[in-house]
Structures are given as structure tokens and as C-alpha cells.
Structure 1
Amino acid sequence: MNDDYQLTEVEHIKARSRHLRGTIEEGLRDRTTGALPADDTQLTKFHGFYQQDDRDLRDERRHQKLEPLYSFMLRARVPGGVITAEQWKAIDAIARELTGGGLRLTTRQTFQYHGILKHNVKPLIQGINKAMIDSIAACGDVNRNVLCNTNPVESALHQQVYADAVAISKHLMPKTAAYHEIWLDQEKIANFEEEVEPIYGDTYLPRKFKIAVAVPPHNDVDVNGNDLSFVAIVEDGKLLGYDVLAGGGMGNTHGETDTYPQIAKNFGFVKPADICKVAEGIVTTQRDFGDRTNRKHARLKYTIDDMGVEEFKKHVEERSGVTFENAKPYEFTMHSDRYGWTENADGTWNLTLYIEQGRITDAEGQPQMLTGLLKIADLHGGDFRMTATQNLIVAQVAKGKKDTIEKLAKEHGLLRKVSVLRQNSMACVAFPTCTLAMAEAERYLPDLITKLEAIVDKNGLSDQPIVVRMTGCPNGCARPFLAEIAFVGKAPGKYNLMLGGDGKGTRLNKLYRENIGEEEILATLEPLIEQYAKERETGEGFGDYLVRTDVVPAVYDGRDFHKNPEGFISSGI
């Protein structure tokens, strides 16, 4: 542990928070401002929400001598992204009554509300809890929402894997009673100092922590971009156990080459009964050895890279009592969703809907998607499954209800013809609410995709999946550094163009053009797409073609992200 004077201010805030209580309750009662005190805005993340303001209106309100238009974004904790139709109806009602009027499906397989005014935060949290949903640890320096393959009822094996994801989430939940005291009016404990956080300790983790569980060949949860992932090893339809991948992560900082995205490293194989022990061992090792003096260097990927895999693994084995076996082979073939109807092992059906950038609203002049899903929920007796690529599955549909549900989906713009390129695109929220955004993402990517579609179609590639992602900053919430083409915000209207992911989430991409706008983006990509159409090998993806033809080097270790291999000369930089 580092000396106190070296710790970041966030560490001090956590230490004096009385296990995440701070002065949140007092701040909620203060009606002279729409904001909460600065220290508490760090603590509320652990309760599942962030303070934001409308950046589109900042200058106007400043000129009017008004404080920023503060509101809050709340993210739910939904392991594996599964909710019932009844829960969907409840979260719909809350969205209409207490928020800006819509829902957003996130890249972490859950939903979030935007535009929540301060006096509505507590009623909203009480509302979702009444529907048996919570927001504990959806954000903050703890394990966040655990991802799982989005079709876990495809077989009995998938159901088992989903159950394991839920078990991990439950095991790593913070034990503080602060959430229940503040939001659900539970009786306050007499002496918080007697309260124990057995896994996290008094100051929780040095930074956020993300976990995913996947069943090959589908890598829709991007296992290599998570701090910790469990990859199911299947033999003759039976789950043998999991390969444990640790140390992945997307975020970095422009201009700081000691920060980088990273691919998770395979620690080896464990039995299903050991996954919670191993997860706790990795989390507590990160708790004790992660960097608390520099939040830009505090993620697990840096801890493992600094310590070395073998040293870190030794600590995990000692803490968990589990010895890693040799890793088992597996292969991923894609990291996108499977759209349309798919049949489950029990004879029910799943309908995967493309939700552009995860936005579900009844906005004026737009398809009434929120209403359409409410009508489907009224009819549907199964559940809904949110995907890690911002889409939605109407799951376990009885055969007799297929036609009616499909008709409702089409009538409300939920089921429509969308290009393969658009289906494989994803963006973060960015402007106007994200405080970290440097450029547009969610509001801009659909228009850019339309222009890219014209280039792709002209070259006969309309059926070729190409993974495209955009973020408003390099923190990487939409996991851009695993995409074949990525746009990472640098300034308003300007992006770093990244190329060379492998289309299945097992290789990082590489900077190809820096700080460019739309005109140069299209001028740069068009000849590369033309060359790809003419020269690609059978079954070769766009990212693989760019690596094979030395447009960009292959990057399998984030420590190589900012440098080119010796002798490599890129035609693009």
C-alpha cells in the first residue's frame, strides 16, 4: 500500500466516505442547486449513477448567469442482461415518469436512464428496486455488470453459463448497507466502523473492474477487452470449465504513450465450481497491488503488466486455493449479434432487434420504439435480453406469438432492413451529456455509416461484415480498439482513425490517421475498401486484409499499441 500523501484524492474520498455514505443524503435535500457536492459525485457512482449536465446548453446558461443544467444518468445492474417482460413494463413506466423519456441500452448489457433531476433520483431507485432490479455497483471502483453471451437458453449449457455469470456478480457485490439506507430507507446501522467489506476493504478497488463470460464461438461480450473473463470450454455438449483471461481493458489517454488498451492474458483452466474463488482472488490481488497514486495507471492490465503474469497468478492461486491447469483450446469466429429469429432448445424462439446506438424513445417524428416494446411486453410471456452491442432480444417467444410480435416490431421501427455494416457498428453516448467527450459519437455515427455504406455497396461488399465503432474520447466505452475500423474522438469533428482489428475481438487495432474530419476519413477509407474488394482472399475480413498487406501491423499486446515493429513501414502514416 502506498503512503497516504501519494494517494489520489479519490482514494481519500473513499476512505472518509463511511463505506460510500458520504453526505449524499444531505446533498439530496439541498434544493438550492441541481447538483451534489463534488466528493459525493465520486461516491454516487458506486450507487449506480453519474452527475452530468447538458453541454449543448452550457454557454447559453452561463450567459444567463445560471448554473449548468444538471441531471443524472443511472445505470442498472443486470447480470447477463436478462429481465422479464413485467420488469420491462416497470422500467418503461419509470422512464416516462421520472427521466428524459427514454431508455438507452449500453455496451455492458444493461440499460440506463438519462435526464434524471435530483429530486427524482431516489424515487427512481426505489422504483427499479420494487421491480427487483438495482443499481448497486453498476459504476464505481468495484466489479460492474457481469456480461454473458446473449442467448443463454439456446441450450442447457448456455443456461449453466448464464447462472455462473449471475453467481460471480452476486459474490462480488459490495457488502455496505449504504445503498439500502440512503435509497430504500433501511434502518441505519449503529456503528458503520463495525461494517466489513471482506472483498473490497475500506477503499474498494483502485479503479473500475469489468467481467465477462462467453461461450465460443460467439465473442459478443468482447472477452479480451475486460479485466477478467471466463471462456467456457465445452466438450461433447458439456461444460468442462473455463479458461480464465485477465488484464484486458480499453481505456487510454491521448498523447500519453504509457497508457494503452490491452488484450487479456490466458491464466489457464479452472473447474466451474472454482470460478467465484478465482474471481475473488484476482479482485483482491488487484485491490492490494493496483496503483492508487495514478488513476490512469490503476486498471488491472497495468498491474499484471508491471508484476508479470506468473507473479500475479501466484498471488491469485494462494488467495483462492485454486491451481490453474493448462489452458484449453477454443476459437471465436465473431463478436456481433445474430439478428432475426433463432430457435431455442426448448422450441421457443428469440427475436434479435437492431437498436441503433441503443436508443429507445418515442421521439417526435421518429418510430415509436418505446411504445412498440411496451406492446410486445404486454403480449410476451418470456423475457428480454440486452446485448453487449446495444441491441435487444425478445427471448423465449412461444411459436404461436411469433407473427404478432414480428408485426408489432415492424410497425414500430424495431424490425427493419439494416445493412450488415450498420448492424456491426456501435457508439458511446458522448455529447451532450458525457463529461469526458471530446467529439460526437452516438449522434454522428449513423450519418457517417450512411456515407460508408455507399462506398461499401459500390465495391460489392454489402454482405461483408466489418466491425465499426466510434467513441467520443479514448476511454473506450464502446470497445473501439477491438474494431476493424474505429473512430476515437480527439476534438469536435475530429477523430483518430484506427484500423486492423480481426472482426472477432482477439486483436487490437492501430492508429492509421490522427485528428482527421469526415472528408479525410472518407478519402482515406475509400481506396482501402476498393483494394480490399479486389485483393481479398476467400473468407478474409477487412482487418485481416489490412494486416496481411502491411497497411497496419498486427497488435496482440497493448504495450506495442503506440509503436511499430522494427522495419515496418506503413503506407498510411
Structure 2
Amino acid sequence: MSETHPRPDRSRDLSQPVERLSADERLKAGSDQLRGTIREGLADPLTGAVSANDAKLLKFHGMYLQDDRDVRDERRRQKLEPAFQFMIRVRMPGGVCTTQQWLKLDELARTHGNATLRLTTRQTVQFHWVLKNDLRPLIQGLSEARLDTISACGDDARGVMCSVNPHLSALHSTVYDLAHRASDRAIPRMRAYREIWYGEAREREPAEAPEEPFYGKTYMPRKFKIGFAIPPVNDIDVYTQDLGFIAIAENGELKGFNVAIGGGMGRSDQSTATYPRLADVIGFVTPDKVLETSDAVMSVQRDYGDRLERAHARFKYTIDDLGLDWVTAEIERRLGFTLAPARPYTFTSNGDTLGWQTGDDGAHHLTLFVENGRLENQPDRPLLDGLREIARVHDDTLRLTPNQNITIARVSDANRERIEQLARDYRLLASDWGSALRVNSMACVALPTCGLAMAESERYLPSLIARIEALLERHRLSDVPITVRMSGCPNGCSRPYVAEIGLSGRAPGKYNLYLGGGFHGERLARMYLENVGEDGILDTLDKTLGHFARERHEGEHFGDFVVRAGYVEAVTSGRDFNR
């Protein structure tokens, strides 16, 4: 690796005045460390919103300003402002949640969040439909449960992911502890958070001690995602993370981590210069070097990420612009040591093991299927009530999975029968939901709350799955696991570009169809059809699934088959995605 590569022009000394920055970067720099005029905006009784600039700053506080798009046109005709509300995302490293915390989340959802909770693809909980006047009570309620929303959104290190379940083995527990420490280390110090949401007085800040010693005044160029995976299960889709740590163990003992950098899903249909990218494994570190490795990798992106063109600001583009060898050498320079060679590992899936498992210590764990992560009470499925009743009985913790499901961890022998009966009563068991395709499906929220959505996702995927299930039954594939993921826009929050069948919204009722992703997230999919409706999607899947049923090799996954059969060429790199 060359260490003589010239320093790129966009590197800058964080102690110097901000120069040549985009409007978003200038906003951060002049925001008084994310205070902006948020306090004043919350007090304005004439609107349910906050200013556009404060809406951007609020992301660092873990919330998005949204509106109900189902009624947007009607309200415009009535000359009313949009039906503004907020999405609130909780910081929950590794998805670990006590039952008391869950009961508080449930209470807050019923009081301030339209009686619904959303399990996300990054192992946390989102509240939707939160009105401006309910923001402070909700945040303060979270604080009572020792939860917060700091760094759940914004240009910083987002919530750190970790393979579940920490109680399955001592290895899982050790890795989770590191993930939690990495999260605490990477979040902004956020004095503004305590002032705005908890009503604390502003402290006098000594000139020599900046509020954000790591981030400076402009934080990261874009969001930065970190995750810890434990082979053979790639449930966190580690290759989609900006920074991934892949656990290497011998006889159940953690030896260290392979380090993977440069993953990311976001792209734009309007620019072929944007693309999803899978992370590259660059070496191995021992457990005691994990936190400083995280600092070094993040600091390279902080200093060299593009702060002029926001669509080009993710770490994946920094790596492709500067070269993987150069970026790796710069990480090693900051670490003060050379990364050891990567060690062998194997992934076999990226899904959840649904149903009961027993850990190394003999404890029982029940993973429940929650379709698209939506917990609410419907006439035939009172799911929110079901989880509340389980939490009232359970005497340990819950684990939110990267696949929008939830694990009841360390179920005691005394409670096992009762908890299984509650799960059955409230239709939370995977056996209540149908095919292997459905339990391996995911969708983002999309309409009506997400402002970026171009098409339906969460509300539409279940019915599309039902139609695909009919095809699977005809081709005798109902028990074959196939990953399918749908996103309402190209940003890819549901990670569709690593699915065997991926869909991203283009317009109402229209999607790009992607085929050929790897079953355990090791290969990007490629677009097979552009801007197509349901009939075209089903016709294509009928043909390809039928061919798969007739000619698949033993143990072959659908994504591998469509590449082998020539439906799509394998994507060899992010830059190859749009070819």
C-alpha cells in the first residue's frame, strides 16, 4: 500500500475556519452546535412544523419532520398547511431492550405516537405521527427509561448494530459489549440535546474545550453506519455498513475482528454517479483495538469526505475516489500500526432464526416474526397488545433484530409455556404468517409518512407477497427461503440492493426490479426491469421462479441461480452496479 499518495484537496484542519462548504455544511457550522433556533420553533403555536434549517438540525436529535401525504393534496386545496408530524428514532445499540423499557415505549406510543411502533432495519424503534407539542414529553419519557434519540439520525455515527442474540453464547455477549461501547464512544456530546429536551441550563464552555472534540463544528460529511457481525449469520448485512467488524472466533473464544469498510445502499435514479457499494475487508484487529480502529476509520471519512456535493459525501465514494489502498494506509497511519491479514470466515445466511433457540447456557430464546416491523393493533392481529402482554410476563430482555423482528431473550423455564401461548394468541409466531418468502421479506416505511417515498412499500409489500406466494406454490417452492426487500425510493433503507429480489419505488405503482443479490448479503443485485408495474413484476418472477424450480442445483439459492442462468450479470463492484 502506498503511503506517498498526496493528501486530497478537500482535507482540512478542523481547528481552522470553515471554507468552501456546501449549504448543509455551512448550516451545521453556524448552528451553535446543533441548537439552531429549535427551541423557538418548538414554541411557535402557529405551525405544526419547524423551519427548514431546524428540521435538518433535528435529525441529529433523532427526529425527522414529516407530513401525512395521504391528505397533502386535500389540505392544499383547503389552503391548510400540511398535516405535519414527526418521526422519532430511539438510539438502541445492538437492539437490546429491557422489558421495563419496552413497556415505556409502548406507553409512549399509545400516548404520543398514534398507538403504533415501528421496528427498523437497524435494530431500533421508531415512533411515527408525533405532533410537535408531544416531542418534549416523549423525549423526557424515554429518558425515564434511560433511553435517548441522540445520533439516531443526522451526519454522525448512527445506531451501532450487532448480531443477535447476546445471550445465545458468551461470544455474542462479548461482541455486544464492544458494540455498545462503540456506540457510546461515537455519539456526539450533544449538550444542546439536554438543554432543548430536558430543560437544562446552558453551561459556560471553556474556550480550550470544544463541545465536539471529535466531530468539530461540521460533524461527518454524511451519515456513518457501524455494525458487528458474528459468522456464520450475517443478519446485520455487514457489507452494507460504512464500517463493519466481522467477529473471528476459535472454539467460541473471540480472537478479534476482520475490518470491512465502505458499504452503503443509497443511490439516486437521476445520477449514474451514485450507486450502492459493498464493503471491502481490509485486515484484522484484536478486540482491544476495536475502538481506536473505529476512531481512525471515522476520522478519515470526517477529514476526506466530500463536503461540497452531498450526494457524493458517503464513505463509499471517498474510498472509490482516493483508492482502497490509500484509504487503508491512511487508517493505519492514524492507528500507528499495520492491520494484520484478514482471517477466514464463512457466512451462510442473513436472516433470523425464527422460533425457539437454546443458548450455550441452556436458556431459551423465542424470535417472533413482525411483518415489516409494524406493531399496531389490527382487528385480526393486535400485535402491540401482544408484545405488551409478553413484556409484562417476561423477566429478562428483548432483542430487536436487523430483520425487523423481535427476540424474547432468556425465557425462564417457568415462563416458557405462558410466553409461547401469548405469542400464539396474538399471532406473533412465524408459523402464523405463511411462506418462507414472507418471513424473509422486508419493507421500508415509505408512504404516507416518509417525505422521500416515490411509491408504496410497507403498505403494499404484504399483498404483493401474497401474489408471489401463489407463484411459489404452483412451482412447489413455498418452503424455499428467498430474500425479497422493497424500498419506496432509491435510498434503500430496507437494503433491497443485496436482496435476491429487490424493488425500489420510482412512481406510484412503479418499481425497479433487481435480481441476483446474494442470499447472505455477499453480492449486489442488478436491475432487471426498470419502472415496471405489478403485472410486469409477477410475469418476470413467474418465469424466473419456474425456471429455478426446474433447473436449480441442490442447495442453490435463487440469487445464485439467476446469475448462473444468465438473467443478470453478477455485480462485481459498486461502480459496476449501473452498467
Using the size of structure 2 for normalisation, the TM-score is 0.96
Structure 2 residue aligned with 1:179: 193
Q: CA deviation at 1:459?
A: 0.7
1:195 is matched by which residue type in structure 2?
P
Partner of 1:566: none
1: CA distance, partners of 2:60 / 2:395: 33
CA distance in 2, matches of 1:11, 1:559: 26
Contact 2:89 2:124 in 1 (8 A): yes
Deviation at 1:6, TM superposition (A): 4.2
Is 1:125 matched with 2:139? yes
1:346 lines up with 2:361 in the alignment: yes
Task: Provide, for residues 20-46 of structure 1, a one-character-per-residue CA deviation record: whole Å limited to 9, x for no partner.
Answer: 111110100001100001110011000
Which residue in 2 is equivalent to 1:422?
438
The equivalent residue for 2:481 is 465
Give the aligned partner of residue 28 of structure 1.
42
Whether the 8 Å CA contact 1:18–1:192 is kept in 2: the answer is no
The equivalent residue for 2:94 is 80
**Counterpart in 2 of 1:42?**
56
1:234 equivalent to 2:239? Answer: no
| CA distance in structure 1 between the aligned counterparts of 2:136 and 2:572, rounded to whole angstroms | 44
Aligned to 1:484: 500
1:500 aligns with 2:539: no
**8 A contact 1:2–1:293 mirrored in 2:** no
The separation in 2 between residues aligned to 1:360 and 1:70, in whole angstroms, is 22
Task: In structure 1, give the amino acid aligned to 2:326.
Answer: E
SS of residue matched to 1:441: coil
Query: 1:392 maps to what in 2?
Result: 406
Q: Say which of 375, 398, 403 aligns to 1:360.
A: 375
Identity level (%): 50
Quote the Cα distance in structure 2 between the aligned partners of 1:230 and 1:163.
13
Q: Matches of 1:222 and 1:457 in 2, distance apart?
A: 29
CA contact (8 A) 2:191 2:211 kept: no
Query: What is the match of residue 15 of structure 2?
Result: none
Aligned residue identity for 1:106: T
Number of equivalent positions: 562
Matched, 1:293 2:274: no
Structure 2 partner of 1:196: 211
Task: Verify the 8 A CA contact 1:349 1:398 in the aligned structure 2.
Answer: yes
The alpha-carbon deviation at position 191 of structure 1 amounts to 4.1
The answer as to whether partners of 1:241 and 1:270 remain within 8 angstroms in 2 is: yes
Offset of residue 79 of structure 1: 0.3
Secondary structure of the residue aligned to 2:377 is coil
Matched AA of 1:21? R
CA distance in 1, matches of 2:196, 2:283: 41
* 1:141 match: 155
Q: Please tell me the residue identity of whatever aligns with 1:531.
A: H
Q: Gapped runs of 5+ residues in structure 1?
A: 564-573
Query: Are the counterparts in 1 of residues 433 and 439 from structure 2 also a CA contact under 8 Å?
Result: no
- 1:224, 1:505 within 8 Å by CA — same for their partners in 2? yes
Match of 1:247 in 2: 262
Separation in 2, partners of 1:295, 1:398: 50
Alpha-carbon distance in structure 2 between the residues aligned to 1:486 and 1:376: 33
- The residue aligned with 1:570 is none
Note the C-alpha offset of 1:117.
0.4
Q: Indicate which of 453, 456, 462 corresponds to 1:440.
A: 456
**In angstroms, what is the RMSD of aligned CA positions?**
1.2
Secondary structure of the 1:490 match is: strand
The equivalences for 1:203-242 within 5 A come to 203-242=218-257
Residue 273 (structure 1) aligned with residue 291 (structure 2)? no
SS at match of 2:153: coil
Q: Equivalent residue for 2:526?
A: 510
Which residue of structure 2 lines up, in the alignment, with residue 527 of structure 1? Answer: 543
Distance apart, 1:5 and its partner CA: 6.9
> Within 5 Å, which residues of 2 pair with 1:403-418?
403-415=417-429, 416-418=432-434
Residue 556 of structure 1 deviates from its aligned partner by 3.0
Cα distance in 2 for residues equivalent to 1:439 and 1:417? 24
Structure 2 stretches lacking a partner, 5+ long: 1-9, 13-17
Q: Which residue number corresponds to residue 59 of structure 1?
A: 73
Distance in 1 separating the partners of 2:336 and 2:126: 37
Distance 1:192 1:441, change over 3 A: farther
Could you tell me which of 332, 338, 354 is aligned with 1:317?
332
- Greater alpha carbon shift after TM alignment, 396-405 vs 44-53: 396-405
Aligned counterpart, 1:567: none
* Correspondence for 1:306: 321
- 2:91–2:149: 8 Å Cα contact kept in structure 1? yes
Q: Distance in 1 between matches of 2:453 and 2:288?
A: 41
- Length-normalised TM-score, structure 1: 0.96
Counterpart CA distance in 1 for 2:290 and 2:519 is 28
1:164 correspondence with 2:175: no
* CA distance in structure 2 between the aligned counterparts of 1:54 and 1:513, rounded to whole angstroms: 30
- 8 A contact 1:176–1:195 mirrored in 2: no
Contact 2:150 2:190 (C-alpha < 8 Å) held by counterparts: no
